[in-house]
Structure formats: C-alpha cells, structure tokens
Amino acid sequence: MKRLFRWSILAAAIALPLAAALVWGCDAWVRRAGGAHCHAETSGVPKTGAALVLGCSPRLADGRRNLFFTKRIQAAAELYHSGKARALIVSGDNSTKHYDEPTAMKEALIQAGVPAAAIHCDYAGFRTLDSVVRAHAVFGQRQFIIVSQRFHNERAVFLARRHGLEAHGFDAPDVSRRIAPTTYLREYLARVKAVLDVTLLRTKPKFYGPPVEIGLE
C-alpha cells in the first residue's frame, strides 16, 4: 500500500506540470495566432461580404440577461451599419425546439436595425469549430469577420485560419470576469481542445448540409 501511495504521488508530480504546460502552450498559441487578426474598432476590420456572429443564449439559467449576448449583438449591428459587412450569419445551437440561439440573435439584430434579409441563420453551430467551418462549407464564405468577445474571437480565428480561411475578429466588449468567472476558466480547456481538434483529432462539424446562397450583390 505504501509503495502504491508513493507511485501515485510520483505520477501526480509528473502529470500536473505536464498538464499545466499543455494548457499554457495551447493558450499562448491560440492567443498569438488568433489575436493577431482581432480588432477592437471597426476601422481596423477589413471590408468583407459577410460576418459570422457566434451564438450564445440571450438569458442565463436563472433568467437574467446574458451580457455576452447583448454586447455581441450590439457589436454585430455596429459592424453591419459601418458597412464593413453586407450580411450576417448568426450561428448557434438549435438542438431542441425549446433552445434556438440563431433565431434569438436574428430577432435581436432586427431590433437593432439590421434588415431581416441581411441575416442568415446557421442552426447547426453547436461548437465554435462547427460555426467557422460551416461558414465556408455551407454558406460559401472563405473571407469573413467573426463577431464575439476577444477571448472567443482569438480561438475562433485560430480555428478558421487553421482550416485555410481568411478570418478576422471584431471584438465585442468584454464582460467582467467577476460576473462570469467560469466562462473565462473554461476557455483554457476550450483552447486545448481547439489545438487537439486541428492537429491530432482533425475534428469535423457534426453536420454539413446543402449550400446556402448569401446574396451580396
């Protein structure tokens, strides 16, 4: 028993630093590669045909307004009204009839003055990887702007560019870490998964589907 205990301590002493190094390395890679193409002002964003707005729920589990959603919608509307994007793809989870992120985003954008005809819903954006790959595979966009908070944009742009897509990020205002600490903590693990997805796992979207034409004329 004592020998087993010593081996367990030794294994933990080796594994923990390795795990920490993996998390740190993936975080640094994603931040450097993705962050180089993220912009806080519309003036820094290249003009393109479409922007991809990454989804989240408009409400938290306790019914409170989700500030990530609110700020993301404001940023997407600002981008459209600035003329930097002529169409918006709202991509999110619609896995059940009671949970529909894309429709909620579209309705909020219409309230923000974006024409309904300029908004296209991607109902199979279950993960960030799915959203960025489907923006090209389904919606035909090889060059596009991604709208989300900075930490999310870094990962999304990283994923898109690793798939050969010319993506830039337009950063919505951040939400205080005091309000959503678990969201920021989960991002470290999400970055490890992102690196594994594009290197070892070669992960594909859950669904593809028929092409969707976006009129940009």
Residue 93 lies inside a defined structural domain of this protein: yes
- Which residues lie below 8 Å from residue 3, measured CB to CB, with a gap of 6+? none
Per-chain mean pLDDT for the chain:
94
Residue 150 lies inside a defined structural domain of this protein: yes
CATH of the domain at 51: 3.40.50.620
Which range marks the domain in which residue 135 is found?
A: 36-201
Residue 112 lies inside a defined structural domain of this protein: yes
Query: Is the separation of the CB atoms in 37 and 168 below 8 Å?
Result: yes
Give the total number of structural domains in the chain: 1
Q: What is the pLDDT of residues 2-14, one digit of tens each?
A: 665 556 666 556 7
Closest CA to 103 of 114, 93, 112, 113: 93
The reported pLDDT for the residue numbered 127 is 97
95: its two tokens: 């896995």
The reported pLDDT for the residue numbered 3 is 62
Low-confidence ranges of the chain (pLDDT < 50): none
Residue 215 lies inside a defined structural domain of this protein: no
The reported pLDDT for the residue numbered 39 is 98
12: its two tokens: 């933990």
Residue 3 lies inside a defined structural domain of this protein: no
Query: Is the separation of the CB atoms in 143 and 118 below 8 Å?
Result: no
The reported pLDDT for the residue numbered 8 is 67
Residue 206 lies inside a defined structural domain of this protein: no
The reported pLDDT for the residue numbered 212 is 95
Residue 18 lies inside a defined structural domain of this protein: no
Q: What residue has token string 């960025």?
A: 132
Q: What residue has token string 């590669």?
A: 33
Residue 21 lies inside a defined structural domain of this protein: no
- Alpha carbon distances (Å) from 13 to 6, 7, 26, 73: 10, 10, 21, 45
